[in-house]
Amino acid sequence: MKAGMLFSGGKDSSLAALMLSRDYEIELNTFVFDKEKGIPGVENAAKTLGFPLKKRVFKEGLLNIVMEMMVENGYPNDAINLVHRSAIRCLCEEYDVIGDGTRLNDRVPMLDYAEIQRLEGKYNSALVRPLLGFGRREVNRLVEKYFTVEYGETGGHIKNGDYESEIRAAFSAKGIDPYKIFPSHHEQSLITGRKLQ
């Protein structure tokens, strides 16, 4: 059975994909707002894992909605959850199983149990979150065991498929300082290799 994995190229989604690959045929899915955006870092991470990758484009207008929400709220959490929910809904239309790399102590993105029940009921699909029982320390230990990883700040030299990088760039393009919305020094990861076991 195929599982559509939400994939940023980072350590969490890579580890979750590896875990799910024991029971499912994995297809990685990276979402972008701009169809012209290249994702070479994510493509390399997918190649490293050995799973096929699909680049998907969010519906037009979502980026503006998300930016307006962030400015109105003064923080990104609700808007990032909206983006995440949109990605999951899209995958529910194609896959019976959707993989998500959220961890035990993640605050964002994180859908609550009622939202997941509604999505699963509406689309007759299953959302599988293999890292939900793992905290950051244990995820990092497992990542160290299986992967080589590059770390850096979102929007900097790390070119992963995290939703946040495009949103930050859109704020900057409009002359709005993204650090008024997003926390500074938010470290991201990108898988650069796989360790032989």
Q: Hey, where are the domains in the chain?
A: 2-194
> Contact at 8 Å (CB) between 166 and 176?
no
pLDDT at 156: 67
Task: Measure the CA–CA gap between 62 and 46, rounded to whole angstroms.
Answer: 26
Please tell me the pTM assigned to this model: 0.92
For the chain, what percent of residues have pLDDT higher than 70?
Answer: 97
* Percent of the chain residues topping a pLDDT of 90: 71
By mean pLDDT, which of 35-44, 76-85, 87-96, 100-109 is the weakest?
Answer: 100-109
For the domain made up of 2-194, give the CATH fold.
Rossmann fold (3.40.50)
| Helix runs in the chain, H state only | 11-20, 40-49, 62-73, 77-92, 113-123, 136-146, 163-173
Distance from chain centroid for Cα 141: 20
How large is the average pLDDT for residues 122-130?
A: 94
Contact 18, 49 (CB under 8 A): yes
* Cα–Cα dist 76/177, whole Å: 13
Say what the pLDDT of residue 155 is: 64
Which residues, in sequence order, are CB contacts of 75 under 8 Å at separation 6+? 181
